[in-house]
Structure 1
């Protein structure tokens, strides 16, 4: 089974690692789409702390990841799934139901997020320390 997942993966933390490892356990090949800086800005009205090139390098360095590409648009998920021949799309449960329309293309699984950790929280902690 070929798995695909997506994320920004800014300020890489244990929650990111957990979802990537759990996604990999579902198949033999894991492809990760890393959100571009522009896509992240369109979603969150801020740019990531780490640029897209560095975030892609970090994700690609993980032993459980087979392939990494730059995700340019949320609207292209179907095309990404087809291009990478994914059997399963894995997303965090904060996206619950938002990608169900892709079920004709592949199985869609929403995994629980790691509690008490998020990039937004990390950014706020760093800002408070300054």
Structure 2
């Protein structure tokens, strides 16, 4: 059995999230997803998520191609999470290209292309520009 693990914030869930998770799942028999805590998101992106952790966990758990979900508390614990989950493959978006190559001693590291023209950050910026309805 091949176990795949991936991580993300999964805030303002969109088609890009679906596609990367589906492609990750196709690489193995079991897909485990680490969902970044609100605190981790604040530290790595400089802003709190739009949706709270509990909602983001529920969204990811509801996907039929996701087998396990847990909370990612720290980027520095990736190795620990991989070993705990007995993952054979770490899948990340190619915006992280090369950042996790040091983990190739404990699992295969794969960077998948992101869906073009879609980004949670860009969606949030567009929404912020929409004038309020009076």
Whether TM exceeds 0.5 here: the answer is yes
User: In the alignment, what sits opposite 1:92?
Assistant: 93
TM-score between the two structures when normalised by the length of structure 2: 0.96
Structure 2 residue runs of 5 or longer lacking an equivalent are none
Aligned partner of residue 69 in structure 2, secondary structure: strand
Residues of 1 paired with 2:27 and 2:46: CA distance?
A: 33
Aligned partner of residue 5 in structure 2, secondary structure: strand
Question: Which segments of structure 1 move beyond 4 Å, counting only runs of 4 or more?
Answer: none
Structure with bigger gyration radius: 2
User: Paired residues, what number?
Assistant: 130
- Are 2:4 and 1:3 aligned? yes
Correspondence 1:15-94 to 2 at 5 A? 15-94=16-95
C-alpha deviation, 1:125, in angstroms: 1.1
User: In the alignment, what sits opposite 2:120?
Assistant: 119
RMSD: 0.4
Aligned partner of residue 21 in structure 1, secondary structure: helix
